[in-house]
Chains A and B, each alone.
Chain A
Amino acid sequence: MIAYNTLVVLSGCALLGIAAGTVGTFALLRGRVLVSDAVGHAALPGVAVAALIVALLGADPRALPPLLAGAAIAGLLGVLAVQALTRTKRIREDAAIAVVLSAFYAAGVALLSWLQTLPGAAQAGLSKFILGQAAAMRAEDALIATTVAALCLALVLLSFQRLRSVAFDADFARVQGLRTDRTDLLLLGLIVLVCVSGLQAVGLILVVALLVLPAATARLVTHRLPRMLAVAAATGGLAGASGAWLSALHPEVPTGAAVVLVAACLFTLALLLAPERGLLARAWQIAGRRLSADTEHFLRAAWEAQEAAGAGPGTAGDRWAPIGAVAAARGWSLGKARRLAFWLAQRGLVARAEDHVHLTPRGATLARRAVRAHRAVEHHLLAAGAADAAAADRLADLVEHGLPPGMAARLLPEPSALPASPHALGARR
């Protein structure tokens, strides 16, 4: 049975992750994610000053709302400082972000050390905002964070159209008469809200990860904005909840680190396994393309080996060709040629016997098509005076694949016939 408090904290972290994923997607598409790094770090002095003021007024310095308000104000100041520095035209945004985040954070550190020397407990527990400590959250704190996160989500849904138009083509949106500067301001406000609501759970150093990682994961998985938002929100929610859960089980691990590591694992999975952009999918694609190119090269070499052995152009295809000749024509090792022959035999394109191959009817059709495509490109290059025979051969090797038969026919002077090779066939020069 999960205690009520734990349940509230977990669902709060999940909702926080959902809001961060959603806002982070727009921030990523607009190229503004690292602003959240500045906002997060800038919150520290705000929290410290707020705690000081609250303590001076005699209220409970651990009450969350004034601390978060201080963090929000300081975060906004940080954003304004970044913009002011960028406006000097001397300091680019990346340097401005680095200056602001480090200087604000340093001011926070100095303030904290000063608060420590004051009587009273103004600084008690403030350092947990740096790395986050979901385990120490009370239910009412989690409810506040949850409310802020829900507010973010509502704002995103309400202004979805504006955010979308700015995220994809801000210039076009401006030409269309949209006030993109206001939308950018809204996005910055959302970033500040998410950072502030995430302070207690994730901490101000790592809150940027909660905006970047889910959004980047979603960007790997899909191209469509609605799906991207859904994936980012799901990733963020999962990371938030399971990170908080992990750090509840192991209180010595800061919640921020746990959340970020879960999100990083999900991102790594997406990086490897995403259907189109994933590294594995792309390696598979490249290997497939290479294999199909090798297949065409093998079939053509087998065809041309028969032509070289005396079959007239266009009539090759019913003789046995030695695999060694194919390998020599392509400059392959004999082993590679044998492996390819085995693979083509499995696909029913050649028959193998005693280190020779014989094209099957299907293989012969494909081989004829490959030879036509190759010679069509060669002929075109030679006719255009773009290359000599040897260079045309090599260039054609690169571009012939995927050339549709119709296009090959248009490049040939005599579309119906298979022309003779413009160069001697046989081992590679």
Chain B
Amino acid sequence: MTLQDFLMLDLPPLLAAMLAGGTCGLLGSFLVLRRESLVGDALSHAVLPGIVLGFAITGARSGLPMLAGAMVAGVAAVALIAVVQKAARLDPGAAIGAVFTTFFAIGLVLLEVTGARSVDLDLDCVLFGQLETLVWVSGREPGALFDPAALATLPRQLGLLAGVAVAVALAVAVFWRPIKLACFDPGYARAIGLPSRSIELGLALLVAAAAVAAFEAVGSILVVALLVCPAAALRLMTDRYTVQVLGGAALGAALGAAGYALAGPVPAALGLDLALNAAGVIGTLGGLVVAVAALVRPLRQDRPPAPAPA
């Protein structure tokens, strides 16, 4: 593998996978701690009609309309879940299941109806992701990394991912304490006057943004893997909030990098004729990490407690 190959073919997907993994891993901890993992699942499906509409209306696959459409769809889904849950007196899981499948189905139909004009927003992207198609045409030499003109030709998905990643990181840093309270003791957070509804809605918006940015990289369904797997694995390994949240982000980024590497470049470097879907490998690794964490846990617990000082 030459350096040029790496810059052109491997760097953009690697960056995209790491950015998507880091962003989703960061937000995933909040979902898991707030027992809203399925909201993440629901949002990642429910943003589909928004993405398709945003794309269909502008006719261009630029980031912002799709992002806006996805946010609208995400908020609508969250609101609708609340309405259905209350009006039909369903348990939250059932309300989520009823709403997100409907949104996803609408998205699929819209995709077909508007499909005539979309060459590159297709079902395969939704179902499998398309990390492999991210290519940096100008990345012929290392100097291009510092050349603004060449950098401008980086795949625009990377720009969207980076923007969302920065926004999410900023929001989490600024609202660190309120979010922490809202995760651990929503009742207390309300009692001391924190706007817990706004925090809830803000988290949902961030998740929707992360879902839409990561959607193009790993596909609509595997966003769930990036949201939940790192957070669940950390949940099994640590009790410390900071470790949980930041570790989730780090683990997500690591999963993205390792998954992409294992899917193509590493087997290729070893001379194996094996090319797997990168998103699939990333998600599988995520599941394996959770499984290993779950298996290792009892071993750690079985250690005898340290003898008390005499």
- Which A residues lie at the B interface, using CB under 8 A? 28, 31, 33-34, 37, 41, 81, 84-85, 88, 90-92, 94-114, 117, 127, 130-131, 205-206, 208-209, 211-213, 215-216, 219-220, 252-254, 256-258, 260-261, 264, 267, 271, 277, 279, 282
Contacts and interface: CB of A to CB of B under 8 A. Distances in A.
B102 A264 contact: yes
Given A106-B280, A257-B105, A279-B87, A252 B224 contact: no
Given A106-B286, A110-B280, A94 B35 contact: yes
Interface string B37-56: 11011000100000000000
Contacts of A127: 127
Nearest to A220: B88
A103 B35 contact: no
A90 B236 contact: yes
Given A28-B94, A102-B228, A219-B89, 16 more contacts: A34-B96, A94-B37, A95-B32, A95-B232, A97-B41, A98-B38, A98-B40, A106-B286, A112-B277, A216-B94, A216-B98, A253-B108, A254-B108, A264-B98, A271-B88, A277-B89
Given A34-B93, A95-B228, A117 B275 contact: yes
A219 B228 contact: no
Residue with the greatest number of chain A CB neighbours at <10 A, chosen from B93, B112, B128 = B93
B59 interface: no
21 contacts: A31-B93, A37-B41, A37-B97, A97-B38, A98-B37, A99-B37, A99-B286, A102-B224, A102-B225, A102-B228, A105-B221, A106-B280, A109-B277, A109-B283, A110-B281, A114-B276, A131-B123, A212-B101, A264-B101, A277-B87, A279-B87
Contacts of A33: 93-94, 97
B294 A208 contact: no
A109 B275 contact: no
A394 to B, nearest CB: 27
Interface string B81-104: 000100111110111111001101
A88 B112 CA distance: 43
Interface string B240-281: 000000000000000000000001000000000111110111
A110 B277 contact: yes
B221 A205 contact: yes
Contacts of A264: 98, 101-102, 105
B229 A34 contact: no
A320 to B, nearest CB: 46
B109 A257 contact: yes
A178 B45 CA distance: 39
B105 A99 contact: no
B150 to A, nearest CB: 31
Contacts of A100: 287
Contacts of B45: 205
B109 A253 contact: yes
B165 interface: no
Contacts of B123: 131
B221 A111 contact: no
Contacts of B102: 209, 213, 260-261, 264
Nearest to B229: A99
B297 interface: yes
A113 B36 contact: no
Contact of A94 (B84, B90, B93): B93
A309 B198 CA distance: 53
Nearest to A250: B112
B290 interface: yes
A256 B105 CA distance: 8
B115 A252 contact: yes
B91 to A, nearest CB: 5
Interface string B168-199: 00000000000000000000000000000000
B103 to A, nearest CB: 9
A138 B45 CA distance: 30
Contact of B224 (A101, A130, A131, A215): A101
A110 B104 contact: no
